[in-house]
Structure formats: C-alpha cells, structure tokens
Amino acid sequence: LRSAERDANDLASALHDCGFAVQSLIGQQATTAAIREAVARLRQQAHGESDLFIAFSGHGAWIPVAGHPDGTTFLVSADYESEIATGDPNYYLSLDWWYTQLLAWDKPRSVVLVLDCCFAGNVAQAAERRSIGDAIEQHFRGVNVPTGRLRAYLAATVPGEKAYEDNRGGWLTQTVVACLRDTDCSSDGLLTVPVLIDAVKKQHSEHFHPFAEYKGDYHWVLADHREARRAAREMQQAEQR
C-alpha cells in the first residue's frame, strides 16, 4: 500500500485521542529487530487486564519455503529480503510468529490485530494469489478464548485478493480511523470490537472485501462518543433557537 505510512500515522493519532498509550514504528523504523523488541516489551509489560490493539499497514508477502507445503506468509518489515526469508522462514516476521506472539497469547484480556495489507506469490510459476485474510483465518481457527477474554482480527482482504486504497488511504485503516473519530460509524456512540467489525464489514464494496472475526465475550469499549454526541446535539439545538 502506497499510503501505509500516512495510514499508520492517522491510526496512531486516532488511538491516542481515544486514550490509548501508543507506540508507532513508521517507515524505516519498522525493522524486524525493532518490531520484535516492541512485541517483546509488550509481552513483558502486559498483565491479565491489558487490552492490546496492534495494527500493521504495508505489504504482505507469501513465498514457497522448503518444508512448508503451504508456503509461508510474512508481514514485510523495512529490512525484509525475500531470498533470506526463503532460506530461513524464522528470520523475518511470519504470520506463525504473529500468531504465537499475539493471538495465541493467553495473558492479556484483549488482543485485536488489524492487518491492512495483501500479498501475491508465484507458486510453480503460476501467479496464484493468496491473501492475508486466508492465512490469518487458518491460524485463528485454533485460538481458544476463555471467558472474560477477547481475540479479534481485521484483515483487509478475503482469500485471493489485494488490499485496496484510494486517495484517503487504505480502506481498512481509514474505516477504523473513522470509527475511532466517530465520523463514519452508525453505532449509538459506544464503539466496541463487535461494533467496529460490523462497521468494517458494511464497507464491503466492489473493491473492498474485508475479512474480520472475533472470539470471546469481553466487552471492550474502544471509544465512547456518547457525551460528545450529546454536547453536539445541544449546541445544534441552541444555534437553532
């Protein structure tokens, strides 16, 4: 996605304004080592009541790897090289790694993973396209979420497609930003994970076919816009009088 850095900054700003403590790795900062260190510190600091929102905007890569009949999927870090990844699938940040570190991690109360990227790989010279949504779904099927916990993912594509962007940016990230900022979400003002997923799915169009699911029963409120909406209504009514 050409707008990946702008999207990441937009999302970081929106999360910060909603009260999140935000750490961003943008552009050349997002090396494999930097991302591994950030996740390691997150795992060290998290506790049983931690609610974590992790997002990636950029490029995904699927490559055939010896010993992996279905190939391996990578979220492309700033220093990614496909030749090295082919020889050592553990060197970079594969979906196996993201799954183990985050979705399958049972310590935090909530984990939401947003992936605004696509990937295309050549399989036996036959330009077969695979999507991040397809790959992450395979991992997510094995996630067991106990009572009082939540695990969710939002992927920009369904199987077989590329992620889509327009002049606003990547559609998935910009939809999430709009909901966080309450500029394009039809809820009652209380933005929970199921409400966010529903809003993303409603953006389904000719170009944008998001793939999003969640497991668990914890009611995580990402943003509460009810008071701001009430104040806006009162101001509008006062102006009309």
Residue range 28-81, pLDDT digits in tens: 999 999 999 999 999 999 999 999 999 999 888 888 777 766 678 889 999 999
pLDDT at 206 over 90: no
CB 212 within 8 A of CB 197: yes
The residue ranking higher by pLDDT, 75 or 138, is 75
HSE (side-chain half, CA atoms, 13 Å) at 240: 6
pLDDT at 156 over 80: yes
CB 32 within 8 A of CB 196: no
Q: What is the pLDDT of residue 240?
A: 73
Q: What is the pLDDT of residue 173?
A: 93
**Distant-in-sequence, close-in-space partners of 159: CB < 8 Å, separation ≥ 6:** 130, 131, 133, 134, 137, 211
CB 228 within 8 A of CB 182: yes
pLDDT at 217 over 90: yes
The listed range with the strongest mean pLDDT (11-25, 91-105, 131-145) is: 11-25
* Band of pLDDT at residue 126, cut at 50, 70 and 90: very low
pLDDT at 123 over 50: no
Q: What is the rounded average pLDDT for all residues in the chain?
A: 85
Q: What is the pLDDT of residue 129?
A: 46
Q: What is the pLDDT of residue 216?
A: 94
Q: Which residue has the tokens 């999140």?
A: 20
pLDDT at 162 over 70: no
pLDDT at 158 over 70: no
* Band of pLDDT at residue 121, cut at 50, 70 and 90: very low
Largest pairwise CA distance in the chain: 72
- Whole-angstrom Cα distance, residue 129 to residue 109? 35
Q: What is the pLDDT of residue 109?
A: 97
Q: What is the pLDDT of residue 120?
A: 33
The residue ranking higher by pLDDT, 162 or 124, is 162
pLDDT at 113 over 70: yes
Mean pLDDT, residues 207-218 taken together = 86
Mean pLDDT, residues 138-148 taken together = 82
Q: Supply the pTM of this predicted model.
A: 0.87
For 97-235, strand residue ranges (E) read 110-116, 119-120, 129-130, 150-155, 165-166, 169-170, 190-192, 211-216, 221-224
